[in-house]
Structure 1
């Protein structure tokens, strides 16, 4: 999804009107039903999953679940203090700077992993997950939220799912994000469907990341794929936070 250039020189009211239109455009794209290519890619992903040894599936499942549980428990994660008193335009400008930095980091990491063959390419899965999680934490702070709060971590998990899920699950997650601050949320993760989370995530990125294991082309493919995955996550997070900002009283 192409991102329009934000009118940073506009008044706060005019900027919020622009942001509202951007959120509407993004929402339409998020809720768009899957097309023939999406269905074909999903079918191909299912075929690839059946070819991958079960021990690899088990390892990836364990890594994804373990690391996402770390998000909720707070172990080994540090967060920046929330940005106070800034306008939406100022927050968006800062968010774009943060995304650019993480995009570069992810591209370098993906290139190095791709150049190292199958085992380093497999190691890229948890490394890239850490980069994505840290990006979401930093963006939460940019938009004025306290990422140490449990409810905020649920919001971060929802943004993650929204960026890396199939069309059906994406619509379900989006509805859960609407009017987020006006609703009560669980205070533990007993309700959370870890299996659905990791399967949607893996199904969404596995097809692209498999090419990273191919000799010679693995390095450039790894760099490009990681760049685009961070780009998608950044746009999803920005619009999710814009939607939340515009819904405030």
Structure 2
């Protein structure tokens, strides 16, 4: 293990400890606030968001319209791979921020349209990251892993801890994974994701400040997803090396 891999392994351990920490008082309050805010949102808005996320999940599991780039060469070093991954994340953060600023400035209807656009940007990024780490997203089981990364990034503290436990030693569980998406719990997935992003995105619907909020929210959401993806693939790398 070279110096960079040692550094990465240490970062991974700190990250896992952070994920598994008990929810803070602030986190618990935020959850209660989220529930209160949700009660004031019109049911039609809830329905639109729920259906959008549901269709996104189906597209990832069954669709072929989202394709990844070529896989990185096996001999490429982790340092080189992650330099490319970080560059890709930065590029997608800027794209998401620009898109969020435009839709935020356009008022309620355009801000609602931002949800499916942002989801598409995030999923495309995950496909790109998977390829850079050497994983083929055309494999259904890799798409399941991508969805777990999504859940890990945008779930409650308790939900994230449960997902992380499911992702540990993923490659040892491949034979246990479903061959199709019928068994995937998309209901829990969309609920956790929607609840997580609502606080960050609802302010985008406000006049005047919507553009600025939309740009910042999208940037931070994509940045968080990118970091979670990096840590998730690092975890697979080190788990696989331990198996060997």
TM-score range, shorter chain: over 0.9
1:220 aligns with 2:212: yes
1:69 aligns with 2:63: no
Hey, what's the Cα distance between the residues in 1 that align with 2:165 and 2:183?
17
- Asked if the contact 2:62–2:181 (Cα under 8 Å) also holds between the matched residues in 1, the reply is no
**For residue 82 of structure 2, what is the aligned residue in structure 1?**
92
1:80 aligns with 2:72: no
**For residue 23 of structure 1, what is the aligned residue in structure 2?**
12
1:166 aligns with 2:131: no
1:51 aligns with 2:51: no
1:128 aligns with 2:138: no
- Asked if the contact 2:89–2:222 (Cα under 8 Å) also holds between the matched residues in 1, the reply is yes
**For residue 127 of structure 2, what is the aligned residue in structure 1?**
137
- Asked if the contact 1:74–1:148 (Cα under 8 Å) also holds between the matched residues in 2, the reply is no
- Asked if the contact 2:107–2:206 (Cα under 8 Å) also holds between the matched residues in 1, the reply is yes
**For residue 3 of structure 2, what is the aligned residue in structure 1?**
14
* Structure 1 unaligned blocks of 5 or more: 1-11
**Could you say which structure has the higher helix fraction?**
2
Pairwise CA distance, 1:104: 0.4
Hey, what's the Cα distance between the residues in 2 that align with 1:59 and 1:117?
16
Structure 1 runs of 4+ aligned residues shifted over 3 Å read none
**For residue 143 of structure 2, what is the aligned residue in structure 1?**
153
Pairwise CA distance, 1:171: 0.6
137-146 vs 207-216, greater mean Cα deviation: 207-216
**The one of 18, 21, 26 aligned to 1:37:** 26
SS at match of 1:146: coil
* Structure 2 unaligned blocks of 5 or more: none
Aligned residues: 238
29-38 vs 145-154, greater mean Cα deviation: 29-38
Provide Cα deviations, 1:181-227, integer angstroms capped at 9, x if missing partner: 11121111122111111110010010111111111111111101111
**For residue 104 of structure 1, what is the aligned residue in structure 2?**
94
**The one of 197, 205, 208 aligned to 2:197:** 205
SS at match of 1:247: helix
- Asked if the contact 1:79–1:138 (Cα under 8 Å) also holds between the matched residues in 2, the reply is yes
- Asked if the contact 2:104–2:110 (Cα under 8 Å) also holds between the matched residues in 1, the reply is yes
Hey, what's the Cα distance between the residues in 2 that align with 1:74 and 1:57?
24
* TM-score normalised by L of structure 1: 0.93
**For residue 240 of structure 1, what is the aligned residue in structure 2?**
232
Aligned alpha-carbon RMSD (Å): 1.0
**For residue 231 of structure 1, what is the aligned residue in structure 2?**
223
- Asked if the contact 1:16–1:246 (Cα under 8 Å) also holds between the matched residues in 2, the reply is no
